[in-house]
Amino acid sequence: MITVVLEIVVGLMLVIGASFAFVASLGILRLKDVYMRMHAGSKAGTLGSGLMLLALAIYAGDAGVVTRAIAGVIFFLLTAPISAHLLAKAAYVVGYRPCGDTKLDALAKVVTPKN
């Protein structure tokens, strides 16, 4: 009985994680500028991969696999937002401006472009 419940939970986590990864890929393809695309890829991609790694940890049950899966989730949570922020700032500095849908350009007065 418990194994059936765990398999259902793992299956749901995999489907939800894959759905978030799919939404991230759609966001990368469909959104208008580099900043919106980066936001979609970093937020939804991190959540999707984190859920799938946690599903692996629950399903495996082995201490080594669980430790590596949790370390992977922590790695994603620490590196994805930081790398997205640094890439967005670098794109802004070299001259990529936000699209017209962006209401407020908070970096306009802080960062001087290299153009």
pTM of the model: 0.82
Of 16-30, 33-47, 97-111, which one has max mean pLDDT? 16-30
Please check the confidence at residue 25 and state whether its pLDDT lies above 90. Answer: yes
Average pLDDT over residues 95-101: 84
Q: So where are the chain's domains?
A: 2-94
Arithmetic mean of pLDDT over the chain? 90
Closest alpha carbon to 43 in 23, 57, 68, 71? 23
Q: What span, in angstroms and rounded, lies between the C-alpha atoms of 99 and 48?
A: 27
Alpha-helix runs per DSSP H in 31-62: 34-60
- The 10 Å Cβ neighbour count of residue 3 is 7
Q: Which percentage of the chain shows pLDDT scores above 90?
A: 60
pLDDT at residue 115 in the model:
60
pLDDT at residue 1 in the model:
76
Place of tokens 């937020």: 43
